[in-house]
Amino acid sequence: MMRTVRRGRSSSRRAGAPAAARRGADWVFIGAVLLLTALGLVMAYSTTFFWSQVKEGNPLAIFSRQLLYAGIGLVGLVFFSWLDYGILRRFAVWIMAGCLAALIAVLLFGDDVFGARRTLLNGSMQPSELVKLGVIIYAAAWLASRRDQVRSVSNGLAPFGVIVGAVSFLIVLQPDLSTAAVIVMVALAMFFMAGASGQQLGLVTLIALAAFLVLTTVVPHAAVRMNEFIKVWQAPNEMDYHIRQTLITLGGGGLLGNGIGASGQKFGYLPTPHTDSVIAVLGDEMGLLGLAITLALFVIFAWRGLRIAQSADTAFGSFVVIGVVIWVIGQMLLNVMAIMALIPFTGLPVPFLSFGGSSLVSLLIACGVVISVARGSRILRERERQVELPVVGSHVKGGKAVRASSTIRRGHSRTRFARAHRAQSARSAVEPESADALIVGRDIRIGGALGRRNSRRGPGAVRWRGKWHGA
């Protein structure tokens, strides 16, 4: 038995709409992002006022530029948080094309600084930071459209590896091994969450390790950093000057720190205190307590981000959020381990905290997309108020209708991350003859006669607002 109900504001609540669809923006996540951005501005001033005074005669010169970038990034955050993130999926191919073009432009026309080409426009733009978000969006769209083919070597692993490998290769040519490593790490995490097998991940890991060993011998500065790292453990008295000063700075703050702006190491002793070594300065000025609070903010960022990914209304949205979370947390952990001399010095900036306009703008835009994913279910409900959805009579509880979407969340999808509105199939929720009328969420699989009639569209094809997209 099946009857049809018209979705309205009240009916969506009666019909068992998930809590994620009603909550709108995640204000805990937003609060963590704003606090990290504010802390980053504090550290930008603390680590640059000396340099600004010496080089430009104005202690606020460098800080004012970071403040401008923060303003631009916050505007991007607001814009993308209100933009339906589903639009990004339609332009994923063009976004990736733009990323590749930007990386090629850096190699051809980039600023040559110490033998490396990583920036454009006299150092004001570092495309590789924006490319991280572009790769996440494209990889999310690709994985969402091929969820049933991820475990295939020819249709899953091979093409995905070519896409990520091409981007990483262009970044390695700059050379910028640490950024390439972050992109590979994020892509592998997304590929794993999409349902990749252990054998596939093992194979990719072996290839990545082999490539890493080759690059450490071919790229001069990579070999130097590896040798410096080995000295830390074999001959501590001969460790590199930068590593030594970083460890001295990190351990100089004690429990409560010496006070904001009071670190003496940044006055000519510690190289790059505003970028690579900002965590060491933070530990010196705010102490162990300040470091703990900072790490707690990153934990909250990851916790709420994964909650958003879990309740996202599409596989694409889940993968985007997972990619952003892995990007931020993974890059932060790599920097902290390098500061503590647990891995070779990477030169990676700390997300939100390190000075850098391209990094901050791209991070805030990415957070805006995450907020849009959190609001996605609400946007979808408002746009589909007048859509008639089938309701299974056997799932009517207490006289209240239960929408089909609430009965098909536990699916047979190979993805490892649970999502709201994940479907087993239309056949398991409603009778086959009614599958044509089932449109729930943005990437629910269409089964029954409709699925057979449109099999040419490939596995995982879904119907959304009259158009077909991959699931």
**pLDDT by residue (tens digit) across 227-271?**
777 877 777 777 777 788 888 888 888 888 888 888 888 887 888
Provide the 10 A C-beta neighbour count for residue 186: 24
Say whether both 384 and 369 belong to one domain.
Answer: no
Residue 450 resides in a domain? yes
Say whether both 302 and 196 belong to one domain.
Answer: yes
Cis, bond preceding 59 (omega within 30 deg of 0): no
Residue 182 resides in a domain? yes
Say whether both 431 and 345 belong to one domain.
Answer: no
Cα–Cα distance, 154 to 336 (Å, whole number): 38
Closest CA to 278 of 201, 177, 213, 360: 360
pLDDT value of residue 16: 40
Residue 273 resides in a domain? yes
Of 350, 374, 398, which closes a domain?
A: 374
DSSP bridge pairs for 390: 4
Do 60 and 49 form a contact (C-beta atoms < 8 A)? yes
Helix (H, G, I), strand (E, B) or coil at 458: coil
Instruction: Find where tokens 């969420």 sit.
Output: 441
Residue 2 resides in a domain? no
Do 316 and 422 form a contact (C-beta atoms < 8 A)? no
Say whether both 357 and 387 belong to one domain.
Answer: no
- Say if pTM beats, i.e. exceeds, 0.75: yes
Give the contacts of 42 (CB within 8 A, at least 6 positions apart).
Answer: 260
Closest CA to 163 of 143, 192, 189: 143
pLDDT value of residue 25: 79
pLDDT value of residue 99: 92
pLDDT value of residue 441: 38
| Domain extent for 341 | 9-374
Do 174 and 118 form a contact (C-beta atoms < 8 A)? yes
Say whether both 43 and 109 belong to one domain.
Answer: yes
Q: Could you give the number of structural domains in the chain?
A: 2
Task: Check residue 83 and give left, alpha or beta (phi > 0: left; psi -120 to 50: alpha).
Answer: beta
Do 143 and 150 form a contact (C-beta atoms < 8 A)? yes
pLDDT value of residue 114: 65
Helices marked H in 15-91: 19-22, 27-56, 61-82, 86-90
Element (H, E) at 282: helix 278-310
pLDDT value of residue 330: 94
Say whether both 443 and 337 belong to one domain.
Answer: no
Do 275 and 43 form a contact (C-beta atoms < 8 A)? no
Say whether both 186 and 310 belong to one domain.
Answer: yes
Q: How wide is the angle at C-alpha 86 spanned by C-alphas 303 and 450, nearest 5°?
A: 115
Residue 312 resides in a domain? yes
User: Which tens digit of pLDDT belongs to each residue from 40-49?
Assistant: 999 999 988 8
Say whether both 235 and 136 belong to one domain.
Answer: yes
Say whether both 217 and 233 belong to one domain.
Answer: yes
Say whether both 95 and 166 belong to one domain.
Answer: yes
Give the contacts of 103 (CB within 8 A, at least 6 positions apart).
Answer: 127, 128, 131, 167, 170, 171
Say whether both 199 and 282 belong to one domain.
Answer: yes
pLDDT value of residue 224: 78
Closest CA to 327 of 74, 130, 195: 130
Say whether both 130 and 163 belong to one domain.
Answer: yes
What is the sign, positive or negative, of the torsion defined by CA atoms of 237, 241, 246, 249? positive
What is the sign, positive or negative, of the torsion defined by CA atoms of 110, 111, 117, 119? negative
pLDDT value of residue 115: 66
Residues in the chain predicted with pLDDT less than 50, given as ranges, are 1-23, 377-414, 418-471
Of 374, 391, 414, which closes a domain?
A: 374
Q: Which CA distances in Å does 137 have to 38, 196, 420, 464? A: 26, 18, 20, 19
